Structure 1
């Protein structure tokens, strides 16, 4: 009996040692909580300039097409409700032969694990940190609109805008929803480390669902908007 007992004990020890063989591997470290914050770039004096293409649809076969340039400047910080935000001055012009004219003033901040942009007095959660493609969040968490599940499609990857390929980008998918019959809602934004937003694409339209045009992808109302970065830098370093 003693020999049998010792034999069973030896077998049990061997099983335990075999099961614990993977304990020598280094555990996966947690993500740095600051990861991704430099993509939502809020350095005072930074500017970004974009080429904008926009179509506004009013009815079937009735629309306006606009091409213009947009400039965004990160202004001085200010404190409100215990949070530090930056003024975002936004200018527009038809093309580079025209002077910039002030169009609107937004604000932006990083609050804890959220990047927040206040656009025409409506706050949106643009990103959450640490950046992780497995995470989702509600873009409309801080406003009264219907919840909008948002996710990060890619992080620290390449993205091409026009003739330029940017490294270290984060691609955000706001919506990728369409039924092919009544509506289309496709929205994405791309941010580059130490630059900020480099690309925005919004295609939010209602499709004609009357019998004569049902299923033909004919736009009845809505907007298509594309914004592409073409220049960026520091205001005090401009020629």
Structure 2
């Protein structure tokens, strides 16, 4: 009887060991860059402008809405989506369309135009600190992007997003200047926060190295609403 029980135990153990791993495996990350007609997102944008020889910067807030309005198939059979870009200065004002962008996603990358240039916003699968040339299809010269904090939660605009990834497009800082572009994406939502900094610091006298801004721009966009129409 004891021998039979031992045999049954060994058999059960062997069968358990042969079972496939049923734990969910991480996907490529397509959910960070959703493309679907009718999707929209609204952002509050705070912009701080530093002017030369002006002791106090000027700050303004405006609002941005992006809506996927339609899609079409290109000659190479790629599905391309058109995104309507609209702005307004106050929540009580009507939206004013100022441009239309395009975006597409392949099995390996997500691309979106910016000032007429196709920028590779992310590559798939999204992995921590894997670099790629975001300007590979442009005439702008190389610019190496990388993803950080992949799959981590983040709170933006008072909303907790369970899985996010931050794309570092640029993060250069010296005693004389700072250039930074960060974009945070949430799974199933898309872009939820953007930070852009392009400033020049004091370059003469006792303020050198103190981080005193002489001129430049800081801009932060945070998502306020999103969904599908």
TM-score range, shorter chain: 0.7 to 0.9
Q: Is 1:110 matched up with 2:110?
A: no
Q: When the two structures are superposed, what TM-score results if normalisation uses the length of structure 2?
A: 0.82
Equivalent position of 1:50 in the other structure: 43
For 1:213 and 1:59, how far apart are their aligned partners in 2? 15
* Equivalent-residue separation in structure 2 for 1:229 and 1:182 (angstroms): 31
Structure 2: gaps spanning 5 or more residues:
1-16
SS at 1:51's partner residue? strand
| In 2: Cα distance, 1:38 partner to 1:221 partner | 38
* Structure label with greater radius of gyration: 1
SS of the residue 1:59 aligns to: coil
Q: Does 1:85 align with 2:93?
A: no
TM superposition shift of 1:127: 0.3
Deviation at 1:103, TM superposition (A): 1.8
Q: Alpha-carbon deviation of 1:108?
A: 0.8
Listed as ranges, the matches of 1:1-239 within 5 Å are 35-61=28-54, 63-82=57-76, 83-179=78-174, 181-211=175-205, 213-235=207-229
Show structure 1 runs of 5+ residues with no match.
Answer: 1-23
Cα RMSD between the aligned structures? 2.5
SS of the equivalent of 2:31 reads helix
1:165: how far off? 1.3
Contact 1:60 1:218 in 2 (8 A): no
The 2-side partners of 1:91 and 1:133 are apart by 33
Deviations 1:169-192 (A, max 9, x none): 11111222211x211112211111
SS at structure 1 position matched to 2:205: coil
**Aligned partners of 1:69, 1:226: CA distance in 2, in Å?**
11
Aligned length: 209
Question: How far 1:112 sits from its partner (Å)?
Answer: 3.8
Q: CA deviation at 1:102?
A: 0.6
1:128-150 Cα offsets, whole Å, 9 max, x none, are: 00111141111111112232211
Is the Cα–Cα contact under 8 Å of residues 106 and 117 in structure 1 kept in the other structure?
yes
121-130 or 217-226, which deviates more: 217-226
| Deviation of the 1:65 alpha carbon | 2.2
Q: What's the TM-score once normalised by structure 1's chain length?
A: 0.79
Structure 1 residue 213, shift from structure 2 partner: 3.8
CA contact (8 A) 1:53 1:226 kept: yes
Shift of 1:120: 1.9
How many angstroms does 1:212 deviate by?
Answer: 5.6
